[in-house]
Amino acid sequence: MQLALGAIYAWSVFTPPLIEAGWSKFQTQVVFSIALVSFAISMVWAGKKIAQWGPMRLSFLSALVLGGGYALAGLVGGTSFTALCLFIGLIGGAGIGLGYVVPIAVGMRWFPDKKGFITGLAVAGFGFGAMAWVKLAGAWGNLIGTFGLSSTFSLYGLLFCIMIAAGGIWMRFPPEDWAPEGYRPGTNADAANDAEEENFSTNEMLKTPQFFIIVATFTFSAAAGLMSIGLMKLYPMEALQASGHSTAEASAIAGTAMAVFFSLANGLAASSGER
């Protein structure tokens, strides 16, 4: 599931062909920005609904929304700015947000003694998915060069739908009284620390300065990183071509650099979660 949902970070592989089709650099980032906002909003909503609807139902909804968004983007031509804003930005981003919370929430329920590790693995899968989709569309599969943007969007939509729905079959919460062997919530160190913490309601949380400081920190940090991700292939390609490399060589080098970046970044995320 996370491999498919990581598609949002593979957007920069589509920016060079969209520029060639007449788009401005600003337009390519509008679609990406809409997807990120839609992703964030729908993820909050999904987090509230997962207890009511269950993780499997939410997974299937994510599969239909994300897969349908990309498939429709391909069916309408693949280069329409308005269509891509709607189908990949708004609808596709919502599909990712609906599914993103599921593996993390389910994993933490099944592994309460390894919450950091299981969350790190889930986030790592999200990033490694971006690497796979970037390379499949470019250097490995050359889908864009062979079939064009429209067919690549439609194919990705089909694959996303199948992968998320297949993973969703196993997305179930454990029984209420379930616990890993040897895990004693009353004596476990993490549980003891949790017991000392004070829980806040949503309204109480919104009244604390710490909440807004954390939001501001994440907003500025994420904005810097996501702007780099959105243009990660376009600007390196331009620099490489200015240095004398052909378009194909520049695309291969930039794509490989992106793959290495995502591998290292999310490998670090997993190892940090384990610690």
pLDDT tens by residue, the chain, 275 residues: 999 998 888 888 898 899 989 999 889 989 999 998 999 999 999 998 998 999 999 999 999 999 999 999 999 988 999 999 999 999 999 999 999 999 999 999 999 888 888 888 888 888 778 778 888 887 778 899 899 999 999 999 999 999 999 999 999 999 888 888 877 766 555 555 555 667 888 788 888 999 999 999 988 887 777 676 666 666 676 777 777 777 666 666 666 666 566 555 555 555 454 44
pLDDT at residue 223, as a whole number: 76
- The domain spans of the chain are 2-176+207-274
Query: Is the dihedral angle over the CA atoms 163, 169, 172, 178 positive or is it negative?
Result: negative
pTM of the model: 0.78
CATH of 2-176+207-274, one of 1.20.1250.20, 3.40.50.10800, 3.50.50.60, 1.10.10.10: 1.20.1250.20
